[in-house]
Structure formats: C-alpha cells, structure tokens
Amino acid sequence: MTDRLPVIVRLPAAVPGSAPDTVAVAREALAISARHRVEAVLIPHEEPPALDPSVLGGLLSSAGLDVPVIIEAHTGRHAPFNLARRVQTLARITAGRAAVYLRDSGVDPVTAAGRPAAAADAEGLIDEYALLLRRLWNSFPESALLGDREAARFVDVAQLAPAQHEGRRYGVAGALNVPIAPAQRPVLLADAGSLGEVGAVDAVVSAAHAVLGPPAYRPITWAADADAESTRRSLADALAQHAGVLLRIDAPASAAARHLEAALSAITALASAESEPLRPSPWQRRSPGPSAA
Amino acid sequence: MSRRRELHLNVNILNAGIFGGSWRVPENDPLSAYTLEHYVGVAKTAEKARLDAVFLADGPGLEAEIAHRPGNSFEPSVLLARIAAETERIGLIGTFSSSYNDADELATRLAAVDAVSDGRLGWNVVTTAGAAAAANFGRDAEPEHTARYERASEVTARVIATWAGQEGTPLVPASPQGRPVLVQAGASADGTTLAGEHAEVIFTAAQTVEEAHAFRRAVDEHAIAFGRRPEHVAILPGLSTVVGSTEAEAAERRRLLDELVPEPYALRRLSGQLGFDLSEVELDAPVPLDTLPAPERAAGSQTFYRMVLGIIERDRPSYRQLLRTLGGGAGHRIVVGTPEQIADHIESWFRSGAADGFNVMPDALPSGFDHFAEQVVPELQRRGLFRTEYSGRTLRDHLGLPLQPPLRAVAPVLTPSW
C-alpha cells in the first residue's frame, strides 16, 4: 500500500461529558483521515467518561470508509477471550479493517479471580497475550462455515483450531465463536518496549529508531501552540528513517479538524519528497502471522 | 390494574431462528446469521413495526452444537453500537455475562453503547452456565450455581453504582435515559431473587398461564422485599411463533421445521437438559419421570430443566413426542397459527396479567420475523393492543419505565464469594 500515507491518526475519544460531541468530532477526524489516505486511525483508551474504543469503533464502522480502525486496549482491563472476540467482530463487520494496539497494564480482574498467582507475574505478558490473540483469531476460519442444508452440517468442526492455550498467566481452551477469512484477520500492534520478542506483533509503536523488526510508528504530537518548524523536523526524521507516524493532534475540539488537515498536508508534502519508501506495510499482512503456530 | 398497561414486544434475534433446523428453511440464506446485514435488517424491520427492542442472547464461547446449527457469534456491544448507527428508535438489549466480565470495564462499555444510541440500551444480566465458557477464562470448571448468582448480584450492584456516578465525578457519559434498562433471564430460585433485586424487564420461559402467574407472584414478592414497586418490573416470556396465512399452512410450516431439526442435535440437547445420555434410548419409550433428578440438583440451566420437567409431568410423553414438543428449540412456548390466532394468544396472556408482553422468537430469521411484523403486529394494532407510533425515544420511554439515575441505598443481600 505504497499509495497510503504512513500515518496512524489518533482520533479524539473524549470531549468531556458529551457523547454526541465526541462522536461528531471523531467522525470528522475519521473522514479527514480517510480523505488523506492514511494507513489507519487509532481510537484511544482514555480516562472516563470517555467512550469505550470498541464501541466507538462499532459505531464509526457505519461510515463504510476504507480505513482500518485500531482499538487501543489495556491488558489490565480485558480478559483475552473477550478482547479477541470484540476485535474479531469489528474485523468481520468491516471486512477486515480492524486492529488492536495492545498496552501492558498487568492481568485483568476476571483472569486474576480465576488464577490469583497470574496477577503477580509481569514478565513476558504482552508476548503471551499477543500469541493468544493470534491463536483465537485463527481458531475459526471462514471456510469452516458450511451451511450445508442438504447434509444438515452447519460447521465443519474439523477445521476449527481451538486455542488450547495453557500459559504462565492465561488459560483459554476454546475456539472463538466469530469466524473470519484469513485476509480479514485483525492486525496487532504493541509498544516495542513492552515486547520480549518483537516478531510477536505486526507493527510496533516506538520513539526510537530501529533497523530490524516489524514496521514502527513513532508517536509525534502536532500541537496547536507548538513550534511548527520543530514538529515538521520530527516528522521528516521519522519518514527519512522509514518509520510511520502515530499522529496526535493537541488542540481544542473546535480547532482539531483544522489542525489535523494541516498536519496531514505537511506529512503528505514531506512524504512525496522522500524516495520510494522501503517500509513494508502491516496493513497488507494477510498470512496468519509469525506466532500463530 | 390502576395504571394503563401497554403491551411490550421484543424480537430475539436468536441467530437463524429458535428451532434447531431454522437455518435450513428454503427461503433464507443458511449463513445469514453470520452476516452484519442479518442483524441490521431485523432491527430495521422491528423499528418499522414499532417494537420495543431487539434482543441478543450471548455467551463467551463456541457452542458444542455448532456442527449442526448456528450459535452466538458477533460480540453484542460492538454489534449493538453498529445497529445504533443504522437505526433511530428501536431499543437495543444485549446479553453480557456477570461471571466473565469485570464490573468496572463492563459499566463503562455499556454506558458507551447507551450514550451513542441516545439512551436505547438494555443489559440482560446472565451468569453464563457451562464448563466450556469457564475454560475460556482459565477456570477448570464452572462456578457452582449459587456462587454464580452471588457474583451476579455484586457485579450488577457495582455496575449500577458506576453508572450513578456514586464517587462524585462522572465515570461514564450521560445518558438520556439515566442508565441502561436492567434485564434478567433465568427462573431458578437464585435467578428470581436477582430479578426481584435488580431487574426492570424479565425474560422468562413459561408454558402455561398458571406457571406465568406463579412466577409473577414470586417476582413481585422479591421486588417488594427489595423496596421496589412490582409495576416497575415488566415480565416478558419467550414466545416462539410460527405464522401461516391459514391454519393448515402454519401447521405445515411447523411440520417442516420439525423435519429440518438435525437429529443428533435434538438428542444431544435433550440429553443435556435431562442430565443423561439419550443416544442409546428407545425413542418411542415413555420418559421415566421417577429417575429424573430434582431441579436443584440438575447441572446447566435450571430454568429449562424445570420447564422440560413440567412438560413430562403434564403430558407423560415418549422421547420422540418430547423432542417434537420442544421442537429442537430452547423450550419456550410455541404458538402456531394464523396472525389472528397468534394475536389471540398474545391478547389473552396480556389481559390476564400473565405477561406484560413477549420476547418474540420467530421460527426462522429473517423470514419468520417478517411474517410477524407484517401480519401479527398490524392485527395487534387493530385491536388497540400495540402502539402505532413511538411516544418517546429511549428504551425506558418504550417500556414505560421511570428514569433511574438515583441509587437505592440498599446493599446487595447476596454476599460475594469470588
């Protein structure tokens, strides 16, 4: 997808206290992002009373735009089965335009209630969680859905691949109940620093320059009151090093759309000045992924 | 009744339909229940017919019967958010497990659906029976029945407290209906207590008017014990409908649906409900009543076990007759007939006070609900039983329930244990 701008736009998820305003601002930012052909948008998890990212993702999917939506999710809030299912649901209803940005915040309360020892075990948590998400996403291939009226066979259970995961923290037996085609499976992102094995995910968020590993997105804030030239330099640096940009707009809601337009225009100009990017796109990943075995 | 009672109707979008063979009817796509359009389409039809709400059953796991029939699939909070974007008035009731969700996370997620739908959400609280779901959350076995309901009581109270903003600063966005409507399903002793404590709508299974009245009395007593008003609880039994333009056509359709139930599925399901393996029994032998366990000792869903036991006590059927009565469905009452006959049934239950309305479970989806919406609803409207326009915008408006922002100062009576 070299015709895409290597940018993830962080949508505004909370205009305090007013859900309709939040939705309106997010819709506008999504439309602008789609027009600029960014690689994806991110719905962040923010402090209450922000809207839940997966719910906002479900709502915004009605726009039918050709932009993948990334749900930010903290491990400390979601049992893996529940998160895997919501993201797979979003992927299914958007024909594969869904992803999750997995953040390390420890073990969730539902898992901890069943396995008290798991809660204290912090090492390698994102790696285990990521592996488990992939297994669940791969567990019910679309081809298993038969719907064979004559033979009275609804699903070919031989094609199911139950997670059968028994790890340090998590135990998940079953297959997910949301089928999906391999080409539509969700994309997985995490912070580079939270991973033991960078190959566990499709893309990383990292402030540092990395030569090896999956495609990286560098968090850069476009602030209304900041020195525009310095922001432009940061953007140029990221692009020169073949990193993508995780773009956050820091502006009042009323001015956010204008600043998003300005930022994306600036990045478009910078990107067209670069030579042909070497960067692989995680949004074209259509195999089960490295850790799915 | 002093206040004017209104009939309430939800449609339960139970994947391809209530019967085990629903997905095989010739007029529908057999894989329809695995498409977004299926759910959005039924919701739009329901809104056009001015129903109170769509209802989504759910559980976090793949059903053992998936080889033979569709199951729950799309996660309800994401799906309902999408349906909210494509509809304006219809209420949106989703099932969310109290055992396998964290109260704080669930409260904020449900509040988001309620907010983006402008106050149309209902939460059907279920404890989620079964070892299969437990094994998806690191448990070796399902928590026992009473422990599940203790946790349900605690989780429900905590979710309500979060919605009410008990700590001062609002933790969730504001909703035009104050907070989502609480729905409860399940007629075990523990379930009825939970319903009396929290439920504003009860989805239940009742085969006879007498059973329904007895259930209503039990719920009323519990509600009063928790300091609540019984008229603020709407009881909506499940009602499976098979509509035909003539009686003969309806009977023929019912016969077809019986024929379409995959036999391994029907046997397996009844085995689960009765607690023993039926693969070896003689299907024409009578079901032996004296060897069946008491409801309290039955594994799985007590609601359906009680209901099946009731049928066996009343009719003394053979296994084959029992399978036919249940229709490979979930065990809710099945009415077969013309639009007028189905309207008669609804009217008599409603007027007797046995039900405030129904959770309609069409024989096949979407076709069976089209029949209901196009033929039965107009008949109910002609009789002055059902609204012809919405009078409000929120689910609470449709159900005639009071706004519920304030918290009751009553702590949960059941004590949490896990």
* A259-275: pLDDT as tens digits: 999 999 999 999 887 76
Beta-strand (E) ranges in chain A? 5-10, 38-43, 69-74, 98-103, 145-148, 153-155, 165-166, 171-172, 187-191, 203-205, 216-223, 244-250
B58 is in an annotated binding site: yes
B95 is in an annotated binding site: yes
Task: Quickly state the pLDDT bin for B412 (edges 50, 70, 90).
Answer: very low
Classify residue B130: in a domain, yes or no: yes
Total structural domains in chain B? Answer: 2
**Chain-chain contact of A92 with B172 (C-beta, under 8 angstroms):** no
Classify residue B60: in a domain, yes or no: yes
pLDDT beyond 90 at B75 = yes
Tokens of B322: 């029992």
More confident residue, B91 or B314: B91
Q: Which domain holds residue B105?
A: 8-246+332-399
Classify residue B299: in a domain, yes or no: yes
**Chain-chain contact of B109 with A55 (C-beta, under 8 angstroms):** yes
Q: Count CB neighbours of A136 within 10 A.
A: 27
**Chain-chain contact of B82 with A77 (C-beta, under 8 angstroms):** no
Buried b / exposed e along B314-336 (16+ C-beta atoms within 10 A): eeebbbebbbbbbbbbbbbbbbb
B198 is in an annotated binding site: no
Q: Which pLDDT score, from 0 to 100, does residue A275 have?
A: 65
Residues 6+ apart with CB under 8 A from B226: B196, B197, B408, B410, B413
The beta-carbon neighbor of B34 closest among A20, A145, A153 is A145
Considering the domain architecture, whether residues B113 and B215 belong to the same structural domain is answered as: yes
**Chain-chain contact of B75 with A59 (C-beta, under 8 angstroms):** no
Q: Is A109 on the interface with B (CB under 8 A)?
A: yes
Q: Which pLDDT score, from 0 to 100, does residue A260 have?
A: 96
Q: Is A27 on the interface with B (CB under 8 A)?
A: no
Task: Please answer whether residues B173 and A49 qualify as being in contact, where contact means their C-beta atoms are separated by less than 8 angstroms.
Answer: yes
Q: How far apart are CA B363 and CA B335, in angstroms?
A: 10
Amino acid at A55: V
Q: Is A141 on the interface with B (CB under 8 A)?
A: no
Q: Which pLDDT score, from 0 to 100, does residue B415 have?
A: 35
Considering the domain architecture, whether residues B292 and B226 belong to the same structural domain is answered as: no
Lowest mean pLDDT across A96-100, A183-187, B230-234 = B230-234
Classify residue B267: in a domain, yes or no: yes
Considering the domain architecture, whether residues B24 and B172 belong to the same structural domain is answered as: yes
Q: How far apart are CA B292 and CA B399, in angstroms?
A: 39
Tens digits of per-residue pLDDT, B24-51?
999 999 999 999 999 999 999 999 999 9
Q: Which pLDDT score, from 0 to 100, does residue A199 have?
A: 84
Taking alpha carbons only, the member of A189, A27, A187 closest to residue A11 is A27
Task: Please answer whether residues B86 and B92 qualify as being in contact, where contact means their C-beta atoms are separated by less than 8 angstroms.
Answer: no
B356 is in an annotated binding site: no
Tens digits of per-residue pLDDT, B258-306?
889 888 888 887 787 777 788 788 888 898 888 787 777 766 667 778 8
Query: How does strand A216-223 pair with strand A203-205?
Result: parallel
Supply φ then ψ for residue B114, to 5 degrees: -65, -40
Amino acid at B257: L
Q: Which pLDDT score, from 0 to 100, does residue B2 have?
A: 40
Distance from first CA to last CA of chain B, Å, rounded?
A: 42
Q: Count CB neighbours of A166 within 10 A.
A: 10
Mean pLDDT within B391-400: 96
Domain ends where: B311, B326, B341? Answer: B326
pLDDT beyond 90 at A218 = yes
Which helix (H) or strand (E) segment is B54 a member of? Answer: strand B53-56
Classify residue B408: in a domain, yes or no: no
Q: How far apart are CA B268 and CA B121, in angstroms?
A: 34
Lowest mean pLDDT across A79-88, A283-292, B150-159, B385-394 = A283-292
Mean pLDDT within A150-163: 97
Q: How many CB pairs under 8 A join A and B?
A: 178
Q: Which pLDDT score, from 0 to 100, does residue B408 have?
A: 41
Considering the domain architecture, whether residues B107 and B161 belong to the same structural domain is answered as: yes
Tokens of B270: 């009844």
Residues 82-111 of B with CB under 8 A from A: 82, 84-86, 100-102, 104-105, 108-109, 111
Distance from first CA to last CA of chain A, Å, rounded?
A: 27
pLDDT beyond 80 at A1 = no
Supply φ then ψ for residue B357, to 5 degrees: 160, -160
More confident residue, A254 or B352: B352
Residues 226-245 of B with CB under 8 A from A: none
Q: Is B40 on the interface with A (CB under 8 A)?
A: no
Task: Please answer whether residues A200 and A126 qualify as being in contact, where contact means their C-beta atoms are separated by less than 8 angstroms.
Answer: yes
Task: Quickly state the pLDDT bin for A292 (edges 50, 70, 90).
Answer: very low
Classify residue B254: in a domain, yes or no: no
Task: Quickly state the pLDDT bin for B406 (edges 50, 70, 90).
Answer: very low
Q: Which pLDDT score, from 0 to 100, does residue B409 have?
A: 39
**Chain-chain contact of A118 with B23 (C-beta, under 8 angstroms):** no
Taking alpha carbons only, the member of A193, A186, A196, A180 closest to residue A282 is A186
Tens digits of per-residue pLDDT, B315-344?
899 888 888 777 655 568 899 999 999 999
Q: Is B138 on the interface with A (CB under 8 A)?
A: yes
- B217 by Cβ neighbours in 10 Å (0-12 / 13-18 / 19+) ranks as exposed
B44 Rama class: left (phi>0) / alpha (psi -120 to 50) / beta: alpha
**Chain-chain contact of B138 with A157 (C-beta, under 8 angstroms):** no
Alpha carbon of B253: minimum distance to chain A alpha carbons (Å)? 17
Classify residue B20: in a domain, yes or no: yes
Q: Which pLDDT score, from 0 to 100, does residue B407 have?
A: 44
Considering the domain architecture, whether residues B238 and B280 belong to the same structural domain is answered as: no
Mean pLDDT within A32-50: 93
CATH of the domain at B190: 3.20.20.30
Q: Is A90 on the interface with B (CB under 8 A)?
A: yes
Lowest mean pLDDT across A147-156, B79-88, B324-333 = B324-333
- How many CA atoms, within 13 angstroms, populate the side-chain half-sphere of residue B254? 21
Considering the domain architecture, whether residues B218 and B337 belong to the same structural domain is answered as: yes
Domain A5-284 has CATH 3.40.50.880: no
Amino acid at B25: V
State how far the alpha carbon of B208 is from the alpha carbons of B120, B214, B215, B354, in Å: 31, 10, 11, 9
Considering the domain architecture, whether residues B239 and B321 belong to the same structural domain is answered as: no
Task: Please answer whether residues A101 and A72 qualify as being in contact, where contact means their C-beta atoms are separated by less than 8 angstroms.
Answer: yes
Classify residue B380: in a domain, yes or no: yes
Q: Which pLDDT score, from 0 to 100, does residue A17 have?
A: 54
Considering the domain architecture, whether residues B111 and B226 belong to the same structural domain is answered as: yes
Task: Please answer whether residues B75 and B106 qualify as being in contact, where contact means their C-beta atoms are separated by less than 8 angstroms.
Answer: no
Considering the domain architecture, whether residues B109 and B135 belong to the same structural domain is answered as: yes
Helix (H, G, I), strand (E, B), or coil: what is residue B232? helix
Sign of CA dihedral A199, A203, A207, A212: positive
Q: Which pLDDT score, from 0 to 100, does residue B310 have?
A: 87
Which helix (H) or strand (E) segment is B268 a member of? Answer: helix B263-274
Considering the domain architecture, whether residues B167 and B276 belong to the same structural domain is answered as: no
Q: Where are the domains of chain A?
A: 5-284
Beta-strand (E) ranges in B112-257? 121-126, 181-185, 201-204, 234-243
Residues 152-171 of B with CB under 8 A from A: 170-171
Considering the domain architecture, whether residues B357 and B388 belong to the same structural domain is answered as: yes
Q: How many helices (H) and strands (E) in chain A? A: 7, 12
Taking alpha carbons only, the member of A282, A293, A276 closest to residue A3 is A276
Considering the domain architecture, whether residues B102 and B190 belong to the same structural domain is answered as: yes
Q: Which pLDDT score, from 0 to 100, does residue B33 have?
A: 98
pLDDT beyond 90 at B97 = yes
Tens digits of per-residue pLDDT, A69-125?
999 999 999 999 999 999 999 999 999 999 999 999 999 999 999 988 887 888 899
State how far the alpha carbon of A274 is from the alpha carbons of A8, A207, A237, in Å: 18, 20, 11
